[in-house]
Structures are given as C-alpha cells and as structure tokens.
Amino acid sequence: MKFENNEKVSFFKRKSLYFALAVCMLALGAGAWSAVNPTPSDKPDDIIYSTTQTPTVKDVEKNQPGVTAAPTTQSTTAKATVALKTTAKKISEVADFFVMPLGGKITKNFSDTQVQYSETYKDWRIHLGVDIAAEKGTQVRAAGNGKVTDVTEDPLMGNTVTIDHGNGIIAYYSGLNKPTVKKGQVIEVGTVIGGVDTIPCETVESHHIHLAVKHNGKWADPIAVMKIEIS
C-alpha cells in the first residue's frame, strides 16, 4: 500500500506523540516513587557520617532530634559492668564441704565429758572446741561457705568471727588479731577472716585459734561435724 506525503507526515506525528506521552508517564512514576521512598541519606535516622571522623554531640543533636548525647566509652563500660554483675555466680551460703581453717597442729581436742588440764588456770575443765596452733599472724580462713552472723571482741576468747555454714552448723573462730570480714557478709571456703593472735583465757599456751561448733544448737566436735580429714 502506498502513502501520500501528507499521510506519512501524519503517521510520524502520531508516533512521536505516543512516545512523548510514554516518557512523561515514566518520569511521573519515578517522581512518585522517590517521594514515597526517599533514599537512605534523606532519612533523619540514617545520617551518614565520615568514616574518618567521629560525629560530635552537636552533630547528633542537629541531625537526630531527641538524642541528647552521643554514645561514649564510659556508658558502654558501665553497661558491660552491669551485665557482668548480673551474670556473676552467686556464692552459696551452705557449705558443701569443709577444710582446716589453717595449717597447724591440734594441741587440744574437743571434750564435753572428760576434763582437760588448763595451763592458764592451773585446773581441769571441759574444752568445747579444738585448739589449732600456728605462729602469730598466720592467716585464718573460713572452713566452708557460709554467712558471717557476728564479729565480736570477747573478753575471754578474744576476737571471734561467727559463721553460719548452713545445715545447722554454726562455727566460732576465736583468737583472731584483726577480723577481715563483716557481719552479714557471705563468704566462700578459703576466705581469709583474720590472723592468729592471743586468746585471753589461754595466754600461757602457744599462739593458736580456738575453733568451736554448734550443731543444731548443741556444742559438737568440729572435726567430726565438719568431716575434716586430719593429715
């Protein structure tokens, strides 16, 4: 089929018009999409800072309203410390086992029925505990886990630390120099509670501590109740 000149011109005009309309529609669509979906750099919470320079507090406040300070190393450290304390293992107040509170020789055993001679008083009397000899100042440690229920200065027994080891076992560590624990403190086996000093009612004897135990409210042999193995 043959077209006249004017028909050819009309055909190309129509084709150009359709093409122009298509381009305009694409441009309008792209503009609408950009308005609804801004690029990350246009969003207030996606401010891009230089990778070689840390933003200042003013930069953060200017670009992110509502933020009053930039994160600091101190705040991060504080959070880490809190997390560490939260996950720290809690010390049990009940002893699972016992050990000797110090290395030394037992110079006097427990006796609630048979009397033993007292070098200080020059007489015979019962002995409600065990005496463990050691040089003055030797560290004395908790025989097991527990809670310090009292720290006193007794006129007869000297400085005494009382520890509730659980299961009805309460121990009295007497003859200490300066107790290093406080009332209400939860401690674990091996914690230093003081050092060896003088016991007023046993001053003639060599330096030692007096370890006494009450089991369910009654005086008992510390070695037997605590099941401590003597080497």
Q: Tell me if 19 is assigned to some domain.
A: no
DSSP per-residue letters across 89-122: PPPPSS-S----SSS-EEEE--EEEEEEEETTTT
pLDDT of res. 121: 86
Q: Tell me if 42 is assigned to some domain.
A: no
Question: Are 39 and 47 in contact, with CB atoms under 8 Å apart?
Answer: no
pLDDT of res. 77: 47
- Predicted TM-score (pTM) of the model is 0.62
**CA distance linking residue 49 with residue 69, whole number of Å:** 16
Q: Tell me if 159 is assigned to some domain.
A: yes
> Residue 202 sits in which domain range?
105-226
Dig out the tokens for 25 from the structure: 């529609």
pLDDT of res. 190: 97
Residues of the chain with pLDDT under 50: 1-9, 11-13, 15, 23, 30, 32-36, 38-52, 54, 57, 60-61, 64-87
pLDDT of res. 206: 87
Residue 205, number of CB atoms within 10 A of its CB: 16
Q: Tell me if 209 is assigned to some domain.
A: yes
Q: 7's torsion region: left (phi>0), alpha (psi -120 to 50) or beta? A: alpha
Number of domains in the chain: 1
Q: Tell me if 127 is assigned to some domain.
A: yes
Q: Tell me if 6 is assigned to some domain.
A: no
Which CATH number does the domain housing residue 210 bear?
2.70.70.10
Q: Tell me if 32 is assigned to some domain.
A: no
**CA distance linking residue 140 with residue 187, whole number of Å:** 13
Q: Tell me if 77 is assigned to some domain.
A: no
pLDDT of res. 47: 36
Task: Please tell me what DSSP assigns to residue 193.
Answer: E
